[in-house]
Each structure stands twice: as C-alpha cells, then as structure tokens.
Structure 1
Amino acid sequence: MTAPTRTRASGTRVAPLRPASRPRAGRRPRRSALLTALTALVALYSLVPLAWLLINATKTQAGLFSSFGLWFGDDFALWDNVGRTLTYDDGIFLRWLSNTLLYVVAGAGGATLLAAVGGYGLAKFDFPGKRAVFAVVIGAVAVPGTALAVPTFLMFSQMGLTNTPWSIIIPSLISPFGLYLMWTFAADAIPDELLEAARLDGAGEFRIFFRVCLPLLAPGLVTVLLFTSVATWNNYFLPLIMLKDPDWYPLTVGLNAWNAQATTAGGQAVFDLVITGSLLTIVPLIAAFLLLQRYWQSGLAAGGVKG
C-alpha cells in the first residue's frame, strides 16, 4: 500500500507522508569488554578478602596453619570461636565494641548534624566571605586525617584530653567531605520558594530547618551518616596515639593488640580470635549499608545532579 500524498492549493504535489521512525524495541545496551573485566577485578578485590575472613573464622588455631586459606578446614569451629572471642580476657571484646559504638554515635552522629546545619546555611544564605569558606572546605577535603593526628594529639595533650573518649569524639565531629556533600545536596533539595513561604507564615529559622528542611535532607543525611560512621568505625591511627588505657580502645586498636600478643614475651597467640573478631567487626557495617542502600544511593545521585 503506497503512502498517501498531499496536494497543495496550487495543485502541485508534495512528498508523501511517512510514519515517524520509532526506536527499535529490544535493543540491548552496548557492552564494553574492558569495563566488564575491570568490574570483575574490582569485585574480586573486594570479595576475596571477605571470603577469606569468613572461611578462616571457622577454623581452629591449628587449622589456620594446616589448611588452604581459601577453603574450609577439617573441623567447623565458628560458633566456638565466636563464644571464645566474646568471653576472652573477661569479655574485653564487648567493652571495645561498646566503645566503638559510643564513638560512632557521638562522633559520626554529631558530624552528620553539624554537616547538615553547615551545608544548609552555606547553600541557602549569602554572606561575605562565602567563596573563601568554599575554598577552605575544598582544601580540607584534600587533607588526610592522619596528617592531622599528631598536631591534634599535641593540642589535646596540652588540654588534658588524651586517654579519654573526648580525644576520639571531638576530632570525629569535623567532616569536610560531609559538609561539602550536604552543601551541594541542600542547594538542590530545598526550594527557595518553600523557605519564603515558611518565613511568610511567621516560622523562625530554627523551626524552618528542623520542621521543613530536615525531612527533605534525609537521603543526604543518611549518606553522610554512613560515610562518617565507616570512617569512625575504622579509625585506627588516632585512637592508637590518643589512648593508653585498653578499656577505652575501639575494636581496631583492640584487635591489633590481640594480634601483637604473639610477638611479646610470654604472650598468647590468639590468631583465631583476631580473625573471628574482625569478622564480627565488619558485620554491622555490611548490615547498615544493605539496610540503608536505597537512601544513600539516592543521596549521592541527588547531590551530584543539578536541578
């Protein structure tokens, strides 16, 4: 069947009408073999240590040295290892776990709140020196935390705060990356018209932030909370130089102390407990990422896309 033609008023014929071209259904996205190989390498790099940790946590002390590292031993001792880890040295592992939770709740939670308040203020208020603040924040993101650990120790020692929980909590309250992330996220997530309407209704700035803006910042808050929680949970160098009392150790420093027992005179080798304790240490982090996955993914996406 031929396509119909159109005729102008002058009697001349024009080109026949043709249906608009449609995209082919079922077209598969292009795939790159190089990207697939790189993704597979990254997956192996991430998953193989976790598999090694899980497998070796099921072995006894003797089985660690008599069996292949990436396969199970003759006996399954995971539950026995877990019980011994929790009760070894009068249950000091549970003490270290409670210390770590304290540092995460106070330090990472406080850092998230400060990042939210600071990011909202920098995104929605204009003031002299704002560009300088932006430069300082970007510069602070590039400075590694270990570079500030020794100056922080010297300052805290003069203040008498070393060997106390405050020496870990106070430095954890500062998160330049979290502040920058909340800054960019708040700039797009909170409409200026909404703030103007709330001010016209007579709401104060604190009420506007906590009642109107904070719910809109929830995805960004979860993202910052996860990043700061992981950083505080895995913090090692700062507690190592700040704390002398083992009762205030976090899990990272405590497990390293167990690992070092084999090299001390008269020390007991407890490599099986170190491995099992390391497995128990990462379980809360994995659970937090899986449970809050949809929140922090949307937070990263919204914070990186301009509306």
Structure 2
Amino acid sequence: MLPAVVKLCCGIAYPHLRTMTGLQRMAVVVIEISSRRRHHPAWARIQLSAEWIQSYMGLVQPASNSTEARKEDSTAVPLEDKDLFYVNQGQEALRRALDILSDQNGWKTEVVEDNGDVVRSKAMPGGGGGSKKVFRLEGVLDASPEELYGALFLRVEDMHTWNPSIHRIKVLKHVGPETVVTHEVSAETAGNLIGQRDFLSVRHSCRHESCIYLGGAPTQLESFPLQKGFVRAEDGPTCIVIQPVAEDSGRSRITWLLNMDVKGWLPKSIVNQALPRAQLEFTRHLRRHLTARAALGR
C-alpha cells in the first residue's frame, strides 16, 4: 500500500480521557458512536460490544487470529505516553478515512477493469482554498482477509519484493502489535509520471468481527528528518477495508481510499492521471504475489 477502526472520541483530548475510570471512558465512547451511527451508514453497520469498545480505547489489545500477530502480542508491554501519539494518529486516520468513504455523494467513476476492479474519484477541499481528488478502488481478490493482512501489514517490509513501484519500506518503530511507523521510498521506474518520492507514515491496523481495517497518515519522527535527494510526499488519511466475500471465505472484497499529496510542482492533471493507475497496478502486482504464494503452499 502506498502509504495504511477508529478513534472513537473525536474532539476529546486523549490524555484527559486516560484519567477517567473504565466505565466513564466507555460512556464517552458510546455517546460518540451513537452520534456517528445516526449520521454515517458505514458506522451504523458496526455492532457495539464492551470488548470492541475497550479495544479502541487501549483497555485491551484488538484480537488477531494470525500466528505472526499472536507472537507479537505475547511480548506486548504498556505503551509510553510518547508512543500513544502514534496510536492516536493511526486511529484518527482510520476514523477520518472511513468518514470519507461513508459519504456516498460526489464519487465519479474513473476506470472499470475487465476483472471488476473499479476506481472512483471525488473532489475534496485541499490546501490554499483549492481542491484535490481522492481515489477509491474496489475489487475482489482470491485471498482470505488474513492473507491480505499478512501481505499488506505484517510483512510490509517485504512489499518491494513483489511490487516494482516500491524501492524499499523500513519499519522504523513498532508501537504495540497494531501500529508501526514506516519509511517508504518509491522506485524510479519507467512510466512513473510522478517521480521518486519518500513517505514517513504511521500505519495502524484493527479488526472487527470478520473485517480488517488498515489505515495510515503522514507523521513525524525526530530521529528521521527529511532525507536528502527525496521529495517527501504525504499519504493520508487513507485506509484499506478488507471484508470476506460472503459465499467464499477464501476471497476478499477490498475498498482502498488513496488520499495523497505528492508535493513538488506537478500539474494536477498529471497527478490525477497517475494515482488511479498506480492503484490498479498495485492491485495487479498484489494478485500475482498472492497467486505465487498459493502455488508454494504458503
């Protein structure tokens, strides 16, 4: 994923929330969710449970079915305040991205592929009083949600081995089992209209029932300033929603919101042409990677 539910207490400072008792915290969350369920169809599909609410308030870690994630869970330690910043940032990115996806108005079809993949775009307010496009890809992949979670989050540093548009991704910081800070460098490939960029991002993952949510946003890390020779682009808030296909547990439906500021002095027309193409190319490479792993029995 070119640089990743839900921070549930929009507008409430997290340090203040941490001083509340568990029941007080849960009450605040329920009030916020109830408000969102009335206004956003996507939120209305989320079922309330004590365990789910607590997981997003940091009271318990979101459960994972994967062996890789369970190993990491077993060594989890309480987060320090400085690390909670990244967890908050990842959760907030997911919340904002889902708000964009839940608004069905204004989406225009950009590309429809023969395999059923569809890319739509929507104009959103941008910096300086202008507007920018965000892109939404929807498709079905021959892989379970767990397999996609492994490819897109747990093994993110391996992504360059199957996606030629990525030169490298390095995890700079682990913040619990569900949040990481990464540095990504895009590849200098023929036909790349945007050119080489680097990204410093927070990536966050969580799940509810059979759905998996991956989100991300640009971030800062004092030990990793701007790198010489690169244009630092920003991707986010962004998310990928992974849902099993009802009639086939070995297939998944993905919805990917791409919300990128490539920086530099590129014309909008070039950027708006390149980004949906990048989504489709990424998905093609992901399909090939999943097919190759399946052939090897992985």
Query: TM-score range, shorter-chain basis?
Result: under 0.3
- Normalised by the length of structure 2, the TM-score is 0.21
| Structure number with higher helix proportion | 1
| Structure number with higher strand proportion | 2
Larger radius of gyration: 1
With a CA cutoff of 8 Å and minimum separation of 6, indicate the structure with the bigger relative contact order.
Answer: 1
